Amino acid sequence: MRILGIDPGIAIVGFGFIDKQGSKCVPVQYGCIQTEAHTPEEERLLHVYEGIVQLIDKYKPDAVALEKLFFNRNVTTAMTVSQARGVMVLAATQKGLPIAEYTPMQVKQAIVGYGKAEKKQVQEMTRMFLKLQAIPKPDDVADALAVAICHAHSYTLNSKLNEVLRK
């Protein structure tokens, strides 16, 4: 199973593709889509949308996992990132891909085993899970890979639960 993990943003969208092979997660490709500051918002949204579509077409994931947005201060930023997230959901939906969403706490719980873990702990565990030489940069990329790993673990658990419930 190939999973596309996304850390939504408008300036930087982190993405990470992993393959779930048995109990292992193997990195396929990761990086970020960046938009230029001071560019009209609609152009930035189009750039994000087209970038996600190109990635889906190239790497052909079986599922998309996104981090749920959490903002407690800047409403303007929250609205802009929500719009960017919307074009990501649109791109995945147009390609017929199932979409899963995870809160930052769920991702931390899945990666570190503690829902209030520090960002550095999540990044280091993500590096270790994927056997990477270094923590991916910028942070948005490491976050996207963590979301993909979270989905890989959650999908496996949910599949097993569904099997048991069917019996």
Residue 163 annotated as binding?
Answer: no
Q: Which of 19, 41, 140, 143 is catalytic?
A: 140
Query: Is it the case that residue 160 has pLDDT exceeding 60?
Result: no
Task: Note the pLDDT tens digit of each residue in 77-104.
Answer: 788 889 999 999 999 999 999 999 999 9
Residue 19 annotated as binding?
Answer: no
H/E stretch holding 102: strand 99-102
67 annotated active-site: yes
The span from the first CA to the last CA of the chain, in angstroms, equals 24
Residue 7 annotated as binding?
Answer: yes
- Which residue reads 């074009």 in tokens? 87
140 annotated active-site: yes
Mention the CATH class of domain 1-164.
alpha beta
- How far apart are the C-alpha atoms of 21 and 146, rounded to whole Å? 16
Q: Which of 7, 43, 101, 163 is catalytic?
A: 7
Domain boundaries, the chain: 1-164
Query: Is it the case that residue 162 has pLDDT exceeding 60?
Result: no
36 annotated active-site: no
The conformation of residue 23, written as its DSSP 8-state character, comes to: T
Burial of 153 from C-beta contacts in 10 A (0-12 / 13-18 / 19+): middle
Task: Note the pLDDT tens digit of each residue in 11-63.
Answer: 999 999 999 998 899 999 999 999 999 999 999 999 999 999 999 999 999 99
Q: Which of 50, 62, 67, 124 is catalytic?
A: 67
